[in-house]
C-alpha cells in the first residue's frame, strides 16, 4: 500500500478530525464513506427559533434551559432546582431569552412562576411565543429592589411558586432607600430561604450591579452564567439574531469554565419568519475579526475546510457605515487555519444550498484526482459541485 502524498495525508487527517469514522480513508487510494455518512445535525439545530422548551425532560434536580448546547455544559444538565442561578450579561446578550425559555421549561414541568418585573420590560407576547404559559406566570411589579426582595420573601415563605425570576436588568443603585449592604444582606437571606423552601430562583444580573450585591451573588448563587454577544446573524441587511457565548463562571454541581455557543433567532411573527429556517440565507457578521464563520449552529466552532454556503461576506464595521447590498462573490475563499483539500480545488462559483457535504466530497475526489496520479477516480461528483469548473474528465478525454 502506497503512502498518500503529504497534502492528501493532511487533508485526510483534518477530515478525520471533523467527520470521524465517516471520513475518507486511505487504502491505496482515497475511499470514503462520506456519501453515506448521516448529516451531522448540529449545523441545522433550530435552536434559536422560538417554540416550546427543549425536549430534555426535567429531572428532580434541574430544569433544562431548553438550549441543548447550554444544558450540555451545566453540571446537572439544567438549572438547579432549590437553588439560585445568576445570569449575567450586558446589552443584547440573550439572557432574557435564556431566562424566559427556562421559565417555559419550569412551567412545562408543572411549575408556577413568579416574575419580579423590576425592569418593567416584560413582553407577554414574546414570552408566550417562547412557550411561556401566561396563565401560570404571576407578574409582580415592585417599585424598588427593597420591595422586590420583600415580595420575593413572602412568596418563598409560602412556597406557592416553583420558580422566582428576579429581573434586575435596568436597576441602578442610589436614591433614597435601603443601603447597598443592607440589600446585599437581604439577598443573602433570600438565597437561604429559597434553598430551604425548595424554590428555584433566577436572577438576571446587569453588569452595573454594585460590588456589594455582585459579591453576594457570587457567593450564594449555585450557578452563575456569563453571556457575551459574539456576532449578529443577518438575513440580508436585517439583523435577525445573534450568536452568544455562554460561559459557566460558577457551578456547584460541575466544573466551571465550560462554555458553549448559542444561536438565537428573533422571529417577529410575520411571513419572513419562514426564511429563518433557511440557514443558507443567514449570514454572520463578526466585526473586527478576520475569522470566517459559517452559517451558524449551536456548539459548532468555526468550520475549517468548508466555505459558508453562498460565499464570503465582508465583515462589517460597527460604525455607522451603510450596508451595501449583498453580492456573493464568485470565489470561495480559503480559510486560513485549515489545510483542507479546498486548497487543491479550483475555484467554484457560489453553490446552492446544502453544499457542505457535497463540497467536501467533490473537493476530496477532485484533490485526489489531481494530486495523486491524475487518473479519473471512482468517485462521482454531484453535478452542482462541478458546475462551472473545467471538467477534469473532459480535459483528459473522458473516463
Partner 1 sequence: MTRLLREHPSIDVELGPDGEPIAFRWNGRQERIEVCNRWRVEESWWSRPIARDYFKVAGASWLALLYLDRVDLTWHLERLYD
Partner 2 sequence: MPLGAAHRLAPEAVFLDPDPPAGAAALKAALDRLAGFSPGVAAETDAMTPGFGRVEVQLDGLDRLWGPEPLLVRRVGEALAGILPGPPLAGIGGTRFAAAVAAVLAGKVAVPPLVAAGGAAGGAAGGVACGVASGAVALHAIEPSGDAAFLAPLPAVMLSRDPEVRARLDRFGLRVIGQVAELPRSALVARFGPEGEWLHARARGEETEPFRPRHAPERFAMALPIDPPVSNVEGLRFVLHRLAAAFGDQLDARGAATARARLTLELDRSFSTGDVPPSMTIDQLLPEPTSEGLAIERLLIARLEMDPPRASVARVELELGDVAPAAGTQLSLFTPQTGRTGRLGWQLARLGLRFGEDRVGWTELEDTEAALAETRWTWRRGSSFGAGAGASTTGRATAPDRARSGGRTNAALHRGPAS
Q: What pairs with residue 241 in β-bridges? A: 233, 265
For residue 393, state whether it binds partner 1 (rule: CB under 8 A): no
Interatomic CA distance for residues 1 and 21, integer angstroms: 20
- Are the C-beta atoms of residues 63 and 105 closer than 8 Å to each other? yes
Site stretch for partner 2 (CB under 8 A), options 37-45, 70-78, 142-150, 349-357: 142-150
Interatomic CA distance for residues 19 and 16, integer angstroms: 5
For residue 206, state whether it binds partner 1 (rule: CB under 8 A): no
Residue with Cβ nearer partner 2 (110 or 398): 110
Non-local CB neighbours of 73 within 8 Å, separated by 6+ positions? 246, 248, 254, 258, 259, 260
Instruction: Give the phi and the psi of residue 336 in degrees, each rounded to 5.
Output: -80, -15
- Please state the three-class secondary structure of 200-216 as a single string: EEEEEECCCCCHHHHHH
Site stretch for partner 2 (CB under 8 A), options 146-154, 177-185, 303-311, 324-332: 146-154
Nearest approach in angstroms of CB 370 to partner 1 is 43
Distances, alpha carbon 281 to alpha carbons 38, 55, 240, 296, 310, in Å: 23, 26, 11, 11, 8
Among 56, 109, 113, 122, binds partner 1 (CB under 8 A): 122
In angstroms and rounded to an integer, the radius of gyration of the C-alpha atoms of the chain is 26
Among 40, 72, 147, 215, binds partner 2 (CB under 8 A): 147
Among 43, 155, 267, 357, binds partner 2 (CB under 8 A): 155
Site stretch for partner 1 (CB under 8 A), options 94-102, 214-222, 357-365, 371-379: 94-102
Site map 267..306 versus partner 2, x via CB under 8 A: --x-------------------------------------
* Share in percent of the chain as helix, strand, coil (round to 5): 35, 20, 50
For residue 143, state whether it binds partner 1 (rule: CB under 8 A): no
Locate all alpha helices (DSSP H) within the chain, ordered by sequence. Answer: 6-19, 68-73, 95-108, 124-129, 145-158, 180-197, 211-220, 356-368, 383-386, 392-396
For residue 368, state whether it binds partner 1 (rule: CB under 8 A): no
Instruction: Give the phi and the psi of residue 150 in degrees, each rounded to 5.
Output: -65, -45
For residue 322, state whether it binds partner 1 (rule: CB under 8 A): yes
For residue 229, state whether it binds partner 2 (rule: CB under 8 A): no
Identify residues 94-123 at the interface with partner 2 (CB under 8 A).
Answer: 107, 110-112, 122-123
For residue 212, state whether it binds partner 2 (rule: CB under 8 A): no
Q: With CB cut-offs between 5 and 8 Å by kind, which of partner 2, partner 1, none does residue 160 bind?
A: partner 2
For residue 183 the three cell numbers come to: 440589600
Summarize as ranges the residues that interact with partner 2 (CB under 8 A).
107, 110-112, 122-125, 128, 134-143, 147, 150-151, 154-155, 158, 160-161, 269
Summarize as ranges the residues that interact with partner 1 (CB under 8 A).
50, 89-97, 100, 119-123, 126, 130, 169-170, 229, 232, 234, 237-239, 242, 264, 266, 318-323
Amino acid at each position: 500500500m502506497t503512502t498518500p502524498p503529504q497534502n492528501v495525508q493532511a487533508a485526510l487527517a483534518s477530515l478525520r478530525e471533523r467527520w470521524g469514522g465517516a471520513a475518507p480513508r486511505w487504502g491505496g487510494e482515497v475511499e470514503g464513506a462520506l456519501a453515506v455518512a448521516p448529516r451531522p445535525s448540529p449545523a441545522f439545530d433550530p435552536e434559536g427559533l422560538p417554540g416550546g422548551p427543549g425536549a430534555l425532560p426535567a429531572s428532580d434536580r434541574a430544569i433544562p434551559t431548553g438550549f441543548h448546547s447550554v444544558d450540555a455544559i451545566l453540571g446537572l444538565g439544567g438549572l438547579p432546582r432549590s437553588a439560585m442561578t445568576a445570569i449575567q450579561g450586558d446589552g443584547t446578550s440573550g439572557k432574557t431569552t435564556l431566562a424566559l425559555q427556562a421559565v417555559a421549561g419550569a412551567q412545562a414541568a408543572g411549575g408556577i412562576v413568579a416574575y419580579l418585573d423590576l425592569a418593567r420590560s416584560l413582553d407577554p407576547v414574546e414570552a408566550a411565543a417562547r412557550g411561556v404559559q401566561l396563565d401560570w406566570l404571576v407578574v409582580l411589579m415592585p417599585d424598588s429592589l427593597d420591595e422586590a426582595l420583600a415580595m420575593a420573601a413572602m412568596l418563598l415563605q409560602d412556597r406557592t411558586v416553583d420558580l422566582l425570576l428576579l429581573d434586575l436588568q435596568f436597576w441602578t443603585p442610589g436614591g433614597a432607600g435601603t443601603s447597598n449592604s443592607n440589600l446585599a444582606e437581604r439577598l443573602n437571606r433570600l438565597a437561604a430561604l429559597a434553598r430551604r423552601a425548595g424554590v428555584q430562583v433566577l436572577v438576571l444580573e446587569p453588569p452595573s450591579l454594585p460590588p456589594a450585591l455582585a459579591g453576594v451573588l457570587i457567593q450564594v448563587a449555585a450557578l452563575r452564567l456569563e453571556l457575551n454577544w459574539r456576532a449578529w446573524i443577518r438575513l440580508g441587511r436585517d439583523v435577525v439574531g445573534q450568536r452568544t457565548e455562554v460561559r459557566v463562571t460558577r457551578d456547584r454541581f460541575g466544573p466551571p469554565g465550560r462554555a458553549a455557543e448559542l444561536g438565537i433567532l428573533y422571529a417577529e411573527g410575520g411571513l419572513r419568519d419562514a426564511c429563518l429556517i433557511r440557514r443558507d440565507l443567514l449570514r454572520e457578521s463578526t466585526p473586527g475579526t478576520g475569522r470566517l464563520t459559517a452559517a451558524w449552529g449551536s456548539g459548532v466552532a468555526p468550520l475549517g475546510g468548508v466555505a459558508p454556503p453562498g460565499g464570503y461576506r465582508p465583515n462589517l464595521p460597527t460604525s455607522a457605515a451603510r450596508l451595501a447590498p449583498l453580492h456573493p462573490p464568485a470565489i470561495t475563499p480559503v480559510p486560513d487555519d485549515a489545510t483542507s483539500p479546498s486548497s487543491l480545488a479550483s475555484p467554484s462559483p457560489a453553490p446552492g444550498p446544502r453544499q457542505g457535504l457535497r463540497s467536501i466530497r467533490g473537493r476530496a475526489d477532485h484533490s485526489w484526482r489531481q494530486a495523486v496520479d491524475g487518473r479519473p477516480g471512482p468517485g462521482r461528483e454531484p453535478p452542482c459541485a462541478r458546475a462551472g469548473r473545467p471538467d477534469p474528465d473532459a480535459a483528459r478525454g473522458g473516463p
